[in-house]
Amino acid sequence: MTRYHYPEPKSSEITPEHVWTKRRQLLASGALMAAGGALPLASAMAQRSKSSDWAPLVAKPNPQYVVMDALTSQKDVTTYNNFYEFGLDKADPAKYAGAMKIEPWSVEIEGEVAKPGTYGLEELLSLSPMQDRVYRMRCVEGWSMVIPWIGYPLSALLNKVEPTGNAKYVEFVTDMQPDVMRGLSSSVIDWPYREGLRMDEAMHPLTLLTFGVYGTVLPNQNGAPVRLVVPWKYGFKSAKSLVKIRVTEKQPLTSWVAAAASEYGFYANVNPEVRHPRWTQATERRIGEGGFFTPKRPTLMFNGYADQVASLYAGMDLRKNY
């Protein structure tokens, strides 16, 4: 099996220890932790039945994956979402996702792997130590957030199932619950939602299999109980509520490529030099940063992660492979 090795983040990308420590102290002393001590991971997931009743999920902060930007507020992170299974309005997921059933839950792994199988949530939770990582996240619509995710590198799961020599891509398939996911009646895409990464992208240490946010298990509207987070790509790459991971030899047809290939490419790297057909990608609006008239900030190449991921695309035409 091919092993991928990547350099550690540059020192300029690492938050100074005193800043990082203060941030974690503030977070730990806030209302998120006021309800009591951390629950065991599986118990936290089981008890998180309503979006207003989040169970604490404590993980070891990883200072190598913390950015200097101020965190987006918990309120904005959990109420301003794209999760089209529950509707197209940004407020729809928080309004309707509470009815989604997340227990029991399992993720099926299949395709070009030596050890295919179905992994229950508890097994996934125990596979690797949890890390608290702060990532920049940018939506293709032109807005961005800075979010403290909790999870572990997707590579831990992929290594366990042992991709074969034919493994070149990883496809992600999300859940469908027609009785509560009102958005499934929409023809905006062909359900279920499908996304994909190249194998080296999936194995990159920044790619996170995610179970929590802001010190708690994931609320339903943020992709409970398990989702993908890929911080150098536009938000639609970070598939929510995963039920299947398929390792393939051929590039999978992803939902947005199938729906609108002229607007959404397979790679979906944050690139301010590639204009969306209907708007510029050169600037972005940071949610919670000032008012409507606050100047937008310049969009960073690869969302600010160029030092870590640009080498993945050496020699590629990033305008053609958008």
Domain span holding position 264? 11-312
pLDDT for the residue 64: 86
**pLDDT of 11 over the 90 cut:** no
Model confidence pLDDT, tens digit, residues 226-256: 999 999 999 999 999 999 999 999 999 999 9
Most confident of 19-23, 26-30, 97-101: 97-101
Q: Which residue has the tokens 């950015």?
A: 67
Average pLDDT, the chain: 87
CATH number reported for the structural domain that contains residue 242 in this entry: 3.90.420.10
In a domain, residue 198? The reply is: yes
The tokens for 162 are 């042992």
In the chain, the number of structural domains is 1
pLDDT for the residue 84: 97
What's phi and psi for 60, nearest 5 deg? -75, 120
In a domain, residue 19? The reply is: yes
| Ramachandran region, residue 136 (left: φ > 0; alpha: ψ -120 to 50; beta: rest) | beta
In a domain, residue 30? The reply is: yes
In this prediction, residue 47 has a pLDDT band, given cuts at 50, 70 and 90, of low
The tokens for 268 are 């979906």
In a domain, residue 288? The reply is: yes
pLDDT for the residue 51: 41
In a domain, residue 284? The reply is: yes
Model confidence pLDDT, tens digit, residues 107-140: 999 999 999 999 999 999 999 999 999 999 999 9
In this prediction, residue 45 has a pLDDT band, given cuts at 50, 70 and 90, of low
3-state helix vs strand vs coil in the chain, percent to 5 = 30, 25, 50
In this prediction, residue 1 has a pLDDT band, given cuts at 50, 70 and 90, of very low
The C-alpha atoms of residue 202 and residue 309 are separated, in whole angstroms, by 12
Q: Quick check: helix, strand or coil at residue 139?
A: coil
The tokens for 77 are 């992170």
The C-alpha atoms of residue 190 and residue 118 are separated, in whole angstroms, by 24
Q: Are 239 and 193 in contact (CB under 8 A)?
A: yes
**pLDDT of 145 over the 90 cut:** yes
In a domain, residue 320? The reply is: no
pLDDT for the residue 57: 86
Higher pLDDT, 278 or 6: 278
In a domain, residue 321? The reply is: no
In a domain, residue 318? The reply is: no
In this prediction, residue 189 has a pLDDT band, given cuts at 50, 70 and 90, of very high
